[in-house]
Amino acid sequence: MDFKKLIAHCKEYGFIFQSSEIYDGLAATYDYGPNGVELKNNIKKYWWMSMVQMHENIVGLDAAIFMHPKTWKASGHVDAFNDPMLDNKDSKKRYRADQLIEGYCEKIEAKNNKDVAKARKRFGDAFDEAQFRATNARVLDRQAKIDDILKRMNEHMRNGDMAGLGDMITELEIACPESGSRNWTEVRQFNLMFSTQLGNIAGEESKLYLRPETAQGIFVNFLNVQKSTRQKIPFGIAQIGKAFRNEIVARQFIFRMREFEQMEMQFFIQPGTQQKWYEYWKETRLNWHKALGTDSAKLRYHDHDNLAHYADAAVDIEFQFPFGFRELEGIHSRTDFDLSEHQKLSGKKLQYFDPEKQESYVPYVLETSIGCDRMFLAMISNALQEETVPDADGKDSTRIVMKLPPSLAPVKVAVLPLLKNKPELTSKARAIFKKLNLDFNCQYEEKDAIGRRYRRQDAIGTPYCITIDFDTLENDTVTIRDRDTLQQERIHINEIEQVVRERVDMKNLFSVVEEVA
């Protein structure tokens, strides 16, 4: 579905609102509405169950957002958590240098895609896209140009060469999208952490940062958790929580926010085993995504060109968002960087005594890190569809339907009396609703014709609608309508709870995780 339509749908149906909208909003900050919070909680539950509940050797943690300021010195965030930034002097807009250069390459890529589309039209079914891209001179020239630009840009990024990035922007004659001018400032490093002050101390000592990743709360608690749970290496600590980054270019709705939520897991391992665990978590995490029914063609790995300051290997799981393939989750081999740095700066030992090897060492760490909000956006963009289906009279009509996995859907079941002004129907429906409410998130709706109510439930992804009609009064049966197949079955009132439970249970996802593994 078109991205603008998706954003409008999220607002209209209570999934996501712009933060402080009545004051014209706050950039890159969003609030989750009644349906949004349910979907988000279900995503978090799916992650938590698969990480903590289903792994004997992974335990949970909920660390504070504020941490001792030295944490961020040790982790490298004070010195190295920067983006290369420049301002346009005419529009006064600020940009990330690498994103300007990537945008330039995307325009060249668009020309190639246009040529591919034209050729496909000309050759029809016989068209072989891979062969065309590998042989067409114009497409090859453009691709070589893109590769060269990205290679040079990545080199400058790796070396922290701001002047080199600035020179590239001049050489490629990149103009400000807003003012159209090339009147740029120099490229500078811009630290992405938000800071604030402690109330009772004066000066630098009082400076606090809002955590830019949840991971550090796990590192500093490594021994507390290990000792209190008597876990043996390899073991993991998982955490879900807010993180904050002063993103220069915050765009694409909830894809890049300044306040967002991460679901991170640090897996502590023996030094030297990182390659094995890197492969293991790469595969395990991809299977987790596939088990949600996401089309495999929409998911891919992308090795990092520029490694973060803490990593010796890193890969992204990318998802095909409406604006192209982008990072959804990162899997990072963080070596012993974080624990060793905390050890140095705190003066406290962060070592593990290995009973089998009879020696102490600083463990290595394999990290899986996914943004909950990005996962939400991936789920919505995968699920939201416009399709033509027969209406009650058998005529074609279009509907907007959110085909979420039932266990993630905000509302599991809607209870609908066929008519509003028949107390015998509404009182029966209310009684059923009241009972089901104890087990599932349900909705009771009696306003409007039944067809319109079905459409409203389709639009928020409700997998099952129970309709109470005149037969219900006769024989205690109801219809249960399936969101995706539109099939209606008649079942007894006493069966509703069990039938719905079987179909919306999160367990269904875990059996698929095992199948795809």
Burial of 76 (C-beta count, 10 Å sphere; 0-12/13-18/19+) = middle
- Looking at residues 161 to 220 of the shown chain, list those that interact with ligand GAP (rule: CB under 6 A): 213, 215
Token duo for residue 349: 């030992």
- Residue nearer to ligand GAP on the CB measure, 236 or 463: 236
Can residue 264 be called a binding residue for ligand GAP (CB under 6 A)?
A: yes
Rg of the chain taking only CA atoms, in angstroms: 27
- Residue nearer to ligand GAP on the CB measure, 298 or 420: 298
- Residue nearer to ligand GAP on the CB measure, 181 or 189: 189
- Looking at residues 362 to 401 of the shown chain, list those that interact with ligand GAP (rule: CB under 6 A): 367, 369-371, 373-374
Report the Cα–Cα distance between both ends of the chain, in Å, rounded. 30
Residue least distant from ligand GAP (Cβ): 371
In angstroms, what is the minimal distance from the CB of 382 to ligand GAP?
A: 15
Q: CB of 75 within 8 A of CB of 310?
A: yes
Q: DSSP label at 137?
A: H
Q: What does the alpha-carbon distance between residue 371 and residue 177 come to, in Å, rounded to a whole number?
A: 28
Answer for which of 262, 320, 368, 407 binds ligand GAP (CB under 6 A) is 262
Can residue 13 be called a binding residue for ligand GAP (CB under 6 A)?
A: no
- Residue nearer to ligand GAP on the CB measure, 38 or 367: 367
Q: What does the alpha-carbon distance between residue 122 and residue 504 come to, in Å, rounded to a whole number?
A: 47
Q: Angle formed by the axes of helices 372-383 and 3-12, to 10°?
A: 100
- Residue nearer to ligand GAP on the CB measure, 167 or 312: 312
Closest CA to 480 of 466, 494, 469: 466
Residues 372, 104, 87, 318: what is their CA dihedral angle, to the nearest 10 degrees? 10
Can residue 338 be called a binding residue for ligand GAP (CB under 6 A)?
A: no
Can residue 253 be called a binding residue for ligand GAP (CB under 6 A)?
A: no
Distance of CA 270 to the CA centre of its chain: 30
- Residue nearer to ligand GAP on the CB measure, 47 or 454: 47
Angstrom distances, CA of residue 188 to CA of 83, 163, 164, 313: 8, 9, 11, 27
Q: DSSP label at 66?
A: B
In angstroms, what is the minimal distance from the CB of 314 to ligand GAP?
A: 8
- Looking at residues 413 to 452 of the shown chain, list those that interact with ligand GAP (rule: CB under 6 A): none
CB count in 10 Å sphere of residue 389: 12
- Residue nearer to ligand GAP on the CB measure, 225 or 370: 370
Can residue 257 be called a binding residue for ligand GAP (CB under 6 A)?
A: yes
For tokens 């969101």, what's the residue?
483
- Residue nearer to ligand GAP on the CB measure, 182 or 304: 304
Task: Check residue 439 and give left, alpha or beta (phi > 0: left; psi -120 to 50: alpha).
Answer: alpha
For tokens 């335990």, what's the residue?
59
In angstroms, what is the minimal distance from the CB of 476 to ligand GAP?
A: 48
Can residue 247 be called a binding residue for ligand GAP (CB under 6 A)?
A: yes
Number of residues that bind ligand GAP (CB under 6 A): 19
In angstroms, what is the minimal distance from the CB of 371 to ligand GAP?
A: 3
Can residue 245 be called a binding residue for ligand GAP (CB under 6 A)?
A: yes
In angstroms, what is the minimal distance from the CB of 284 to ligand GAP?
A: 16
Answer for which of 36, 330, 410, 417 binds ligand GAP (CB under 6 A) is 330
- Residue nearer to ligand GAP on the CB measure, 38 or 264: 264
Q: What does the alpha-carbon distance between residue 507 and residue 501 come to, in Å, rounded to a whole number?
A: 10
Q: Which residues bind ligand GAP (CB under 6 A)?
A: 213, 215, 245, 247, 256-257, 260, 262, 264, 327-330, 367, 369-371, 373-374
